[in-house]
Amino acid sequence: MRKFKYPVIIYPAEEGGYVGEVPSLKGCLAQGDTLDETLAELAVVTGLWIDTAKRRGERLPSAKKEVTKVKELLAA
């Protein structure tokens, strides 16, 4: 099982397959024919997104805060 630092959202794509996104990382999303393929692709693009942000000197969102936000939303 893949572990993600940030919360992810997976949903069915209109044309079939799935779309996965990391809302904390603007524009970070992937698509695949199966759930497993989508998660694998999302792991790749998340790593690339983070590497690019670091190279540009951009500040990454706090993963801990993002996870806390999701937990609070789910508890409500």
What mean pLDDT comes out for the span 29-51?
96
Predicted confidence at residue 52, as pLDDT, reads 97
Record the pTM. 0.85
Task: Kindly list the structural domains of the chain, giving each domain's residue range(s) and its CATH number in brackets, ordered by start.
Answer: 9-75 (3.30.160.250)
CA–CA gap between residue 36 and residue 39 (Å, rounded): 5
Check pLDDT > 80 for residue 2.
no
Tens digit of each residue's pLDDT (9 = 90 or more) over 6-24 = 999 999 999 999 999 999 9
Question: Residues of the chain with pLDDT > 70: what percent?
Answer: 97
Of 70, 13, 18, 20, the closest CA to residue 46 belongs to 20
Tens digit of each residue's pLDDT (9 = 90 or more) over 27-36 = 999 999 999 9
